Structure 1
Amino acid sequence: MRNVVLGFLGTQLDSGKRRRWKPTVSLCQEDGFDVDRYELIYDGTFSRLAHNVKSEIEAVSPDTEVVLNQMDMDDPWDLGETYGKLFDFAKDYGFDEDRERYHIHLTTGTHIGQICWFLLSESRHIPAALIQTGPPRGDSERGSFDLIDLDLRQFDAIQQRFDQQSREYGGILRGGIETKNSAYNQIMDRIEQVSSVSDEPVLLQGETGTGKSELAQRIYELKLDRRRVKGRLVHVNCATLIGGTAMATLFGQRRSFTGQAGTERPGLLREADGGVLFLDEIDTLGLEEQALLLHAVETGRYYPLGSDTEITSRFQIIAGTSADLSERVAAGLFRVDLLARLNFWTFKLPPLRERKEDIEDNLKYELARAEKRLGVRVGFNADAAEAWLRFARAPSTPWPGNFRDFGGAIMRLCTLAPRGRITRAQVQEEIERLQRRWRSSTTDRDAQLVAQYFAANLDPFDIPQLAHVIRVCQTSVSMSEAGRRLFAVSREERSSKNDADRLRKYLAKFGLKWIDLSES
C-alpha cells in the first residue's frame, strides 16, 4: 500500500523565514513513515515557493513523487469558499483505497483550511487519516508526528459520553423518575432535543395536575445548563391577573400613571429579561393583554403603563394550558395570531390514567418527597402497597386531578402513618375519601351543565347520562356526528343506522333541540 499525503503549502512555515523547520519537507523525512506521493495544494501567488518546496522534497526523499495542485483562493479565511473548493477537489480526485492509504497534513494552511480538512475526512468525502506535525523542542532533533485516524469505531467512548449526557438531560426533564410510558418518553425526548437548540415558544397542553408547571421548571433548568438562557424563570399564573392590575403586573407601570408614591413597578416581562417567562393557564389572559404580549414576544419591546418610552426585554416563553386553545379561538376568547406564535413547539402531556405503568415509580418519588417534607421515612406494609397499586392502576380509577390527586393522597397517607408504616386500613380509608370527592365533583359538574338547558327536576340516574349527551353535542359539528359518537356500539346491531334521528328523539324527551346545544 502506497502512502499518499494531501496538504496545503505552508506560506510562512515552508518558506523557512521564521525557523529552519519546514513542516512539508520534514514530513517526507519522518522515520518509519514513507511518503510515496505528496499532493501539495498551493495558491498561484506562491507558485515559486511551491516549486522550491517540491525541489527540496525531491532532494531529501528521492522516492517521493510531488504533485503540485494550484487552488487559488480569493479569501483563504472564507469557510464557504475553502470548503467548496476542497470538496470539488475531493470529488474529482479518484481515490483508490485498494492500493493507496491517504493522509491529510493538518499542520499547514489556515485554521479554516484545517477545519475543512477535518469535516471532509470525518464525512469520508476524503477517506484519509489526519497527520499533525510539530517542530523539534529542546535538544531533540526530531519534531513531533501524530497520526489521527477518524475511524468512528475508535470513538465509542465519546459516543457513550454523549449518550450519558443525553440521559442526564432526559433525567432532568423527568424529575429523576424512571418512566416506562412510551408516549410520555417520546415527548420528553423531543422536548430535550428542542430545548437544547431552539429558543422558540413552547406550548404545554394537558389536564390540570399533569405536571405542566414542574416540566416548565425543568425545561428552564435544561436551557440554563445548555447556556440557552442566563436570566431567571418568571412564573405567572394568568388566572390571577384580574382587572386593571393585569397590565401593570405584566408590563409594569410608571408612577406618572397613577401619581401615587409606591405605585411604580418593573413588571414581570422586565424581570424575565434574558430568561424564561412561563405563562401558566394562558387561556385565561384577557384579549387586550394578549395583543400586547404578542407584540412583546415578537419584537422584544413594549410600553409600561404611563410611559412614552419603550422597554426592551428579550425572553423565551413557555405557555401552559388545560384548555383547547383552538376552541377558545373559535369562541372569540383567544387571539388566533397569538396561538400561531405560541404553538411553534406544542406538547400534550398524557393524563395519569393513560400512564398506569408509571404509577409505581411515581409512588417511590412521592414517598421520597414526603420524607423530605415530613422529616420521617415512611413505607407501605406489603398488603397496603398491593391494595393501593391495584386501586391506582384500575381502569375505573379516573384520577381527575392527575398527579396532584396522586401526590396529595400519598402525602396524607405518610402524614397519618403510625410508626412510619402505611396500613391496609389507611389505604382503604384514603380510597373511599378520593371516590367520595370525585363522585361529588362529577355530580356537581353534571348537575350544573344540565341545569343550563333543563329547568325541571331529574332523577339522579338521568343526570350523568344527559350531561354526557350535552357535552358530545357541544363538541360535534353535526347531529349525525354526535349520534355516531353516542351510539358507536349499539348502532352495529341495528339494521337502520339513523343516529341523528335516535339523538333527536332522546333530546325531545327533555324538551331539548340540537340547535340549542350546538350553538352553545
Structure 2
Amino acid sequence: MKQVVFGLLGTRLDRGSAKTDRWQSWRPTVALCQHEDLLIDRFELLYEPKIADLSNTVAEDIRSISPETDVRLHEVHFRDPWDLEEVYSKLHEFMGNYSFRPEQEKYLANITTGTHVQQICMFLLAESRHLPGQLLQASPPKRKQPGEGTYKVIDLDLSRYDQLAARFALEQQESLSFLKSGIETKNTAFNQLIERIEKVAIHSQAPMLITGPTGAGKSQLARRVYELKQQRRQLDGKFVEVNCATLRGDQATSALFGHVKGAFTGATGAREGLLRAAEGGMLFLDEIGELGLDEQAMLLRAIEEKRFLPVGGDSETGSDFQLIAGTNRDLQSDVQEGRFREDLLSRINLWTFRLPGLAERREDISPNLDYELTQFSATTGSVVRLNKEARTRFLRFAESEQATWQANFRDLNAAITRMATLAAGGRISVELVDEEIERLSQQWKSNDNSNSSSLRELQGVVDAQELDRFDQVALSEVIRVCKASSTLSQAGRKLFAISRLSKAKPNDADRLRKYLARFSLSWDQLQ
C-alpha cells in the first residue's frame, strides 16, 4: 500500500536556523523523508500564503533527497492559526473534500509542526476518522546534532492497547457499580439497562425520562446519575429534587419558577424557584405527569431556551440545568386525553428508560437484602445480620410468586427495617422472618382481594375464577378504562395508545369490541 502523509508547514522549524546552512538544521517535514525505514509515497503539505516561498523550498528539498515522494502543496489561509474554531473548520473542510482510498493507501497525520491548536485539530480529525489514519510525531536528534532524528507512529485505535482497554473497562464497571449503589445485581435485562443509562449519562446533556412503578428506585437512580456526572466534572451545581404531585396551582408555578416580591398575597419577599436553584446542576422532576398544563408550557420553554418568567416578574431570568423526569404514568395516554402536552413529551423522551419492579427481578432480591441491612447499620450504628436459616426462609418467600412486592423496594426496605429493629442481639431470627412474611402476605392479600372483587363487580357476567391471572389483570384494566370513557373509540385510543401509532388506519373501537367479545362482553354491558 502507498503511504501518504498530511502535514502543516512549520513557519519556524521547517525554515531552519538563519545562522547555518539549512541542511545543518533539523527541519521536521524534510527530516521525515530522510528515514530509510519510512517510505513516503506522497506528502500532502498544507501551507499559509505568507510562507509560499518556504513551501516551494521545502518541496524541492524533499524531492532532492526522496525523488520517489510526490509533494503536493495546498494553500490554506488561517486568519488566526490559534483560533480553534477557525482552524478546525478549515482543516475539516479540507479533509472532507479529499478523496481518501483507505483500501489502497495508508495515511499518517504529522502533528510535529504547526501551532499547538493546529496539532490538536489534526489529532481530533484523526481520532474522529475524518482523516482515516494514524498520527506521526517526529523528534530532533539529541543535543542538536545533525541528522534526521527519530519518529513515532501512534495508533489511535485504543482497542489495540491492552492496558488502556483494561483501564477503560474498569472505569466503566466502576461507573455501573456506582449507579447500582454497589449492589451486585444479577438480572440481565436490568444490568443492560444500567449500562445504557451509564453511557447516556456520560455522553449526553439531553433530558432523560425514567418511568416505572412507584418504589422502583427512580429517585435514587436520578441522584446517582447526578453524582456520576459530578465526579466527571460535567456538573458543578446542585441536585434539586421535587415531587410534582405535591405542587398545585399558583404554588406550583411559584415553587418551580420563583416569584417577585408582592406577586400575590403573602409574597412578602422574592423567591428564587427550583429551576434557578438547579443552575449548573440537575433538576429531578418526579411524577412530572402531575404538573398542570400551564406549568408544562413554562417548563418546555425553560428546557428549550433556558429562560423563564418568575411569577409577577417583568423580566426573564435564566437557568442552565440538566433535567431528569420521573413518572409512573402512561404519558402517551395522557397526551391522547389532553392531560399532558405532546410537545413537552417529545422534548423529554429522547432518552427514556423504564425501571422494572422488584417482582420482575427476583434474582436481585438477595443482594438488595444485603444492601438494606448495610444501610440500616449505617443509619442506626447497629450491625444486624440474619442467620443462615432465617435468610433462607425469607428468600424462599421473597423470590416466590407469593411475594407480589406491590410497593417494590419500599416494601423490601420496610420489611428489613421492621425485622432489624426488633432483632435481639443484632440477629434476625426465624420467628421474626415468619412474622414479617405473615404481615406482608396479609397486606398484599388485602389488596388482591379488593382487586378481585372489583373485577367481579365490573365485569358482571364473567367468573374471575375461570380466568388465568394474566387475563384477570388485563381484563380488569380494560373494564376500568371502559367505565371511565364516554365512547368505545375513546376507550380504544387509551388502551391502544402505543400500538395504534404503527397502524396507518387504527380502528381502536373494532379492536376493543373484538377483545371484549372474547369474554362474552359488550360495550353496552360495561356502561
| TM-score category of the 2 structures, normalised to the smaller one | 0.7 to 0.9
Q: Which of the numbers 309, 313, 323 marks the counterpart of 2:319? A: 313
Matched residue, 1:145: 150
Q: How does 1:460-479 map to 2 (within 5 A)?
A: 469-475=475-481, 477=492
**1:252 CA drift (Å):** 1.7
- Percent of aligned positions that are identical: 38
After superposition, the Cα gap between the structure-2 partners of 1:237 and 1:69, relative to the gap in structure 1 and judged at 3 Å, is same
**1:3 CA drift (Å):** 8.8
Matched residue, 1:73: 76
After superposition, the Cα gap between the structure-2 partners of 1:5 and 1:292, relative to the gap in structure 1 and judged at 3 Å, is closer
Matched residue, 1:493: none
Matched residue, 1:107: 112
Give the SS at the match of 1:295: helix
Q: How does 1:2-401 map to 2 (within 5 A)?
A: 7-16=7-16, 21=25, 22-27=27-32, 39=43, 41=45, 43=47, 45=49, 46=51, 48-53=53-58, 56=61, 65-75=68-78, 78-86=87-95, 91=100, 105-111=110-116, 114-115=119-120, 118=123, 123=129, 130-134=136-140, 136-137=142-143, 145-150=150-155, 152=157, 154-258=160-264, 262-401=268-407
Give the whole-Å Cα distance in 2 for the aligned partners of 1:87 and 1:261. Answer: 59
**1:479 CA drift (Å):** 8.4
Partner letter of residue 499 of structure 1? R
**1:380 CA drift (Å):** 1.4
Give the whole-Å Cα distance in 2 for the aligned partners of 1:93 and 1:241. Answer: 60
Give the SS at the match of 2:333: helix
**1:117 CA drift (Å):** 5.0
**1:42 CA drift (Å):** 5.0
Give the whole-Å Cα distance in 2 for the aligned partners of 1:44 and 1:113. Answer: 12
Give the whole-Å Cα distance in 2 for the aligned partners of 1:83 and 1:291. Answer: 40
CA-based RMSD: 3.9
**1:264 CA drift (Å):** 3.0
Q: Which moved more, 1:405-414 or 1:104-113?
A: 104-113
**1:190 CA drift (Å):** 1.7
Any conservation in 1 of the 2:44–2:74 contact (CA below 8 Å)? no
Give the SS at the match of 2:401: coil
Any conservation in 2 of the 1:283–1:325 contact (CA below 8 Å)? yes
**1:339 CA drift (Å):** 2.3
Any conservation in 1 of the 2:241–2:286 contact (CA below 8 Å)? yes
After superposition, the Cα gap between the structure-2 partners of 1:237 and 1:130, relative to the gap in structure 1 and judged at 3 Å, is same
| CA distances 1:30-52 after superposition (whole Å, capped 9, x unpaired) | 6x857676736254944543443
Matched residue, 1:491: none
Give the whole-Å Cα distance in 1 for the aligned partners of 2:108 and 2:162. Answer: 22
Give the SS at the match of 1:256: coil
Give the whole-Å Cα distance in 1 for the aligned partners of 2:348 and 2:263. Answer: 30
Partner letter of residue 136 of structure 2? L
**1:24 CA drift (Å):** 3.3
Partner letter of residue 111 of structure 2? L
**1:210 CA drift (Å):** 0.2
After superposition, the Cα gap between the structure-2 partners of 1:392 and 1:276, relative to the gap in structure 1 and judged at 3 Å, is same
After superposition, the Cα gap between the structure-2 partners of 1:14 and 1:400, relative to the gap in structure 1 and judged at 3 Å, is same
1:513 to 2:525 alignment: yes
Give the SS at the match of 2:138: strand
> Aligned residue pairs: how many?
484
**1:420 CA drift (Å):** 1.7
Give the whole-Å Cα distance in 2 for the aligned partners of 1:127 and 1:341. Answer: 38
After superposition, the Cα gap between the structure-2 partners of 1:461 and 1:414, relative to the gap in structure 1 and judged at 3 Å, is same
Partner letter of residue 87 of structure 2? D
After superposition, the Cα gap between the structure-2 partners of 1:2 and 1:79, relative to the gap in structure 1 and judged at 3 Å, is closer
Give the whole-Å Cα distance in 2 for the aligned partners of 1:12 and 1:338. Answer: 56
| CA distances 1:259-312 after superposition (whole Å, capped 9, x unpaired) | 657443221122112221111122222233223222322322222222222221
Give the whole-Å Cα distance in 1 for the aligned partners of 2:249 and 2:98. Answer: 68
Give the SS at the match of 1:184: helix
Give the SS at the match of 1:418: coil
The structure with the largest alpha-carbon Rg is 1
Unmatched segments (≥5 aa) in structure 2: 482-490, 493-507
**1:151 CA drift (Å):** 7.3
Give the whole-Å Cα distance in 2 for the aligned partners of 1:466 and 1:86. Answer: 63
Q: How does 1:394-413 map to 2 (within 5 A)?
A: 394-413=400-419
Give the SS at the match of 1:410: helix
Give the SS at the match of 2:233: coil
Give the SS at the match of 1:203: strand
Partner letter of residue 398 of structure 2? A
After superposition, the Cα gap between the structure-2 partners of 1:92 and 1:374, relative to the gap in structure 1 and judged at 3 Å, is closer
Q: Which moved more, 1:338-347 or 1:356-365?
A: 338-347
Any conservation in 1 of the 2:108–2:135 contact (CA below 8 Å)? yes
| CA distances 1:342-390 after superposition (whole Å, capped 9, x unpaired) | 2222111111111011111111111111111221222211111111111
**1:253 CA drift (Å):** 1.9
Any conservation in 1 of the 2:46–2:76 contact (CA below 8 Å)? no
**1:135 CA drift (Å):** 6.6
Partner letter of residue 39 of structure 1? F
Partner letter of residue 388 of structure 1? F
After superposition, the Cα gap between the structure-2 partners of 1:48 and 1:271, relative to the gap in structure 1 and judged at 3 Å, is closer
Matched residue, 1:495: none
Q: Which moved more, 1:373-382 or 1:442-451?
A: 442-451
**1:206 CA drift (Å):** 0.9
